[in-house]
Amino acid sequence: MSWLKRNTFHHSDFSDLAALCEAKQEAGITVSLCIPTLNEEKTIGKEIVIFKSELMDRFPLIDEFAVIDSGSTDATGEIVQSYGADFYYSGDILPSEGFKRGKGENLWKAIYQLKSDIICYVDADIANIHPRFVYGLVGPLLRHPEMHYVKAFYERPMAFSEGIRATGGGRVTEILVRPLFSLFYPELTQLFQPLSGEYAVRREVLERIPFPIGYGVETSHLLDVYLQWGMGAFGQTDLDQRVHRNQSTAALGKMSFGILQSFLHRLQKHGKASAMADISNTYRALQANGSEYEEITTEIIEEERPPMIEIKEYLERFPR
């Protein structure tokens, strides 16, 4: 049986939550849910209510529920705490390591802060949030002990001020990441949405891989897990649909630039490319205002955090 058929699921395969909780208890596995945030006051409250009521109060699938924040200036923190989830400012976690702003930083700090065997990451901007965004990802890890890293995929209608557009999304995947995978890592093209922000991972994998703090975190994860554990470590679950904010083409250009930096670094590290000349960290875009033309430059440096297992405080908190 091919990997695509064997390791691809639908969230309904795990919708019997009572049975899933029983399997979790029998395996002696604990699960933490982490939502990374930065100014997500519009959607974070609904996510907490739905996940907590269905997956903690009604069915004990989640043992720990935390929001890791990059320094929100809106009401995100107040909302999180009023609705009963744990709230942490990323800069207060492992202060000896300092603070770097970025989603990848929050994901990395969560490995230290959270205690469970499995960590499930879910983005904070999902308008059509549902418990399947957690049980659909945790389920394969509970049912298939040989799997270590489960990614979400879905239809991605995009939210606009005038409503919802029926199709769209996944543009960086199809224009950048899928062509790169096709060239250098063909097996990884079997992942429908390698850049999805929803995934569940076993601690023993998370603690052994580096974390870019910026746009390259998801792509780098896949490459590093693939090189260390092989394609069999992955699973993917169809979550049907995810409604979220649309990003501008300019924003996607910056995202692609960061991803490409991380990808080229991995090519060299994995021996798939010879030593490269210094690569620019400056993203250059052009802007026209009438007869005025301007080059807009943005410095984008894909810094990386080391594998958590190399951090002394982590080994003290989680002894081998």
CB neighbour class for 120 (10 Å; exposed up to 12, middle 13-18, buried from 19)? buried
Other beta carbons within 10 angstroms of residue 319's beta carbon come to: 6
The tens-digit pLDDT sequence of the chain (320 residues) is: 699 999 999 999 999 999 999 999 999 999 999 999 999 999 999 999 999 999 999 999 999 999 999 999 999 999 999 999 999 999 999 999 999 999 999 999 999 999 999 999 999 999 999 999 999 999 999 999 999 999 999 997 755 555 544 444 588 999 999 999 999 999 999 999 999 999 999 999 999 999 999 889 999 999 999 999 999 999 999 999 998 667 788 889 999 999 999 999 999 888 888 766 678 889 999 888 888 899 999 998 889 999 999 999 999 999 98
Q: Report pLDDT for 167.
A: 47
Task: Please report the domains of the chain, with CATH numbers, ordered by start residue.
Answer: 3-317 (3.90.550.10)
What DSSP line would sit under 4-61, residue for residue?
HHHSEEEGGGG--HHHHHHHHHHHT--EEEEEEESS-TTTHHHHHHHHHIIIIIISTT
**CA distance linking residue 202 with residue 208, whole number of Å:** 11
* Backbone phi and psi for residue 220, each to the nearest 5 degrees, phi listed first: -65, -40
Contact (Cβ atoms closer than 8 angstroms) between residue 126 and residue 43: yes
Contact (Cβ atoms closer than 8 angstroms) between residue 285 and residue 253: yes
Q: Report pLDDT for 81.
A: 94
Residues 6+ apart with CB under 8 A from 108: 211, 213, 305, 308
Contact (Cβ atoms closer than 8 angstroms) between residue 229 and residue 138: no
Separation in Å, CA 116 to CA 61, 62, 71: 12, 9, 24
